[in-house]
Each structure stands twice: as structure tokens, then as C-alpha cells.
Structure 1
């Protein structure tokens, strides 16, 4: 019998996804220029994966790098926030986080879902796009159905929306909906 871990329900992995989501929500709420014309907000695409061999479905994004010298793990809260804010404003590409919370230095472009066959040879599960989705979000929902991917999380640079994608399903909050249970405004 093979050892199998259900990472999607694993307490530590759920915490990692939550830490990323809360960080992106904080970055979205701290940016005050969302309604200014011609100003791009912070944006990012993060994948939490159970397989460090992601090169089979991702390509390196040039010189874009996560600042490992500043933060190597999602468990370093302040450093993670600072590094994530920098990446959101200055870099392009997907950030890869392993199920142990370690962040990969290389940022990537995840390949189109249509390039991956399922176990029985047919295409992997289709996904439903929403009209508001841009390329980052469409890629994130597609990537979320890959067996190696636990979740993808995005921060929209156009609107501040934070979305979590798991197995082709989406939980998305507009900037106005983020953290409504504890926001003072």
C-alpha cells in the first residue's frame, strides 16, 4: 500500500494557504490607489504544490525571483509580507510554495491546462471562467486542477480581488468583501 497524504485537508497545508490569502488581503487593503487612473496595483499568482518537480508543467520566468535572502518561508510573517509586497509590485510570474511552507526562488509561468492528459488519457477536468478573469486568474484556476497543486491564490492588480482556487473551484472576494468580519471601515 502506497503512502498517500491528503494535502488539501492537511492542517499545516491549510494553514499555509490561509497565511498566503491573509497576506494578499492585507496587501490589497493597504494599497490606497485602486481607483486612480493609469496606476497599476499590486498583483501576484501563488501556487502551493506537493511536488517540487514542477518543471514538467512550468517554465522559468526570466530573471524574476522571489527574494529568498529576505524570506524563505511563509512562516516568517513580517518578512513574508514584505517580500510578497515587493514581488506584487515589481515581478511577473507565479510564485511556488511547497507544502512545508518553503518558497522557491524561481518564479514561473504555468503551462496551459490543455497540455496535460488525465490518468485515463482524456483531458483534465474543464474549468469555468468568470467574466472578470484575466490571464492570471484563468491560469490559476487551470493550474489548480493539476494533481500536484493543492491551491492557487491570486491578487488582482486591477481590482484588489483575492481568489483561492482548489481543484477548479473558486473562492473569491472583491476588495470590498475582504476581511469584512474584522474591518473597521
Structure 2
């Protein structure tokens, strides 16, 4: 077991970062609950992928997702503009593809990205990580793998097929099916 360096910042337990993660999760849950057509055949619901990162860049393990960008450059601070964040997240869920990168200070990166897989020389091998669940599609598998990176605090997904919300940390995950979500977003 590795001992934590006393100079490291424990982002996963940091109060402000936890508030940020909770805000994103609650917003994702509300987007899922607001969509009323989940049971209709041939209908795809809103989908989301967020990554909360502690590093200054994701350039070394992500690529831009074409022209997919955060829709409102004035509403990029999650903790300061809750309504703007919710509106932009709803638009991204319905019209954009790629992961939304958020720094631990709560600022959304404008460019949506595709995270690259770990290479065989990576710090973590597939044998050490949690297996993929049967319900996971490519978005969820990417979020699981990406959550194992040292500079990624948390990844979260909203399934466009079922409305489930999943939180990934350090290659582990906790998932909540849509039927078990509770509406906690405050208008």
C-alpha cells in the first residue's frame, strides 16, 4: 500500500470538490428524470459523460470530439451559475457527443473530448481494474477506464439507453438505475 504524500491534495474527499461532483450528479439525475420517453421503442434519450480532473490539461490522453463544444461559454462555472450549468448540460445531453471535462475548481472546458485508452505500458492494466458490466456501452467503459487515471478525480455517465446514472472513481463504479433516481434538483 502506498502512503499518501502529506503535500498531496485529497481531491476525492475535498469538500468543495465533493460539492462539485454532487452538483453534476444531481443535474444528470434531473436530466434523466425529465425525459419522459424512455419506454418508447426506437427512442434514444439524453446521454452525458463528465470527467472531473485535477491536472492542468487532458491533452496527453484525450482528443477533441470535432465541433462538439460546451454551448454557453458564459456558463462554464458550475458552482457559480447553477441555472446556466443545468441549461447547458441539458443541451449537451440532447445534441452533443463526447466527454465534458471539468477542472476541480468547477470550470467546464469548452471542448468536448474522446478519452484514449491506456496503452499496455500504462500505470494500470486491465487485469487490475473492475470488469465491465453487461449493461456498459462504450461511454461507460471509457468512463470506467478513465476514472483510473491519477489526474482524474471522478467520471460520471448518463445512459442514453436506460437513463441510469453511474459514478466512477479509481476504476470502480456505483450505478443507479433510472427507476431508483430521486428528483432532488431545486428549481
3-state SS, counterpart of residue 101 of structure 2: strand
Q: Structure 1's 148 and 115: CA in aligned 2 closer, same or farther, altered over 3 A? A: farther
Q: CA deviation at 1:69?
A: 2.6
The counterpart of 1:62, out of the listed 63, 66, 74, is 66
Deviations 1:42-93 (A, max 9, x none): 0010000001221100001110001243411111111111000000000000
**In structure 2, distance between residues paired with 1:110 and 1:85:** 22
Q: Among 66, 72, 76, which residue is 1:72 paired with? A: 76
Task: For residues 81-123 of structure 1, give each alpha carbon's deviation from its aligned partner in whole angstroms, at most 9, with x where no partner exists.
Answer: 10000000000000000000000000000001335621xxx63
Q: Do structure 1's residue 156 and structure 2's residue 159 form an aligned pair? A: yes
Aligned counterpart in structure 1 of residue 91 of structure 2, from 72, 86, 89: 86
RMSD: 1.9
In structure 1, stretches of 5+ residues that fail to align are none
CA distance in 2, matches of 1:172, 1:114: 27
Equivalent in 1, 9, 32 of residue 28 of structure 1: 32
For 1:105 and 1:79, locate their aligned partners in 2 and report how far apart those are by CA, in whole Å.
14
Q: How many pairs are equivalent?
A: 179
Partner of 1:178: 181
Q: Distance in 1 between matches of 2:13 and 2:66?
A: 34
Query: Which residue is equivalent to 2:23?
Result: 19
Matched-pair contact (CA < 8 Å) for 1:47–1:97: yes
TM-score normalized by structure 1?
0.91
Q: Which residue of 1 aligns with 2:104?
A: 99
User: How far apart are the structure 2 equivalents of 1:28 and 1:161?
Assistant: 7
- Find the residue that maps to 1:114 and give its secondary structure: coil
Structure 2 regions of 5+ residues with no counterpart?
none
Q: Say which SS state the counterpart of residue 28 (structure 2) adopts.
A: helix
Give the TM-score of the pair, scaled to structure 2: 0.90
From the superposition, tell whether residues 155 and 116 of structure 1 become closer, same or farther in structure 2 (CA, over 3 Å): farther
In the TM superposition, structure 1's runs of 4+ consecutive aligned residues that sit over 6 Å from their partners are none
Is the contact made by 2:129 and 2:172 (CA closer than 8 Å) also made in structure 1? no
- Per the alignment, in what secondary structure is the counterpart of residue 165 of structure 1? strand
Which secondary structure does the structure 1 equivalent of 2:38 belong to?
coil
CA contact (8 A) 1:94 1:109 kept: yes
SS of residue in 2 equivalent to 1:113: coil
For the residue of structure 1 that corresponds to 2:179, the secondary structure is: coil
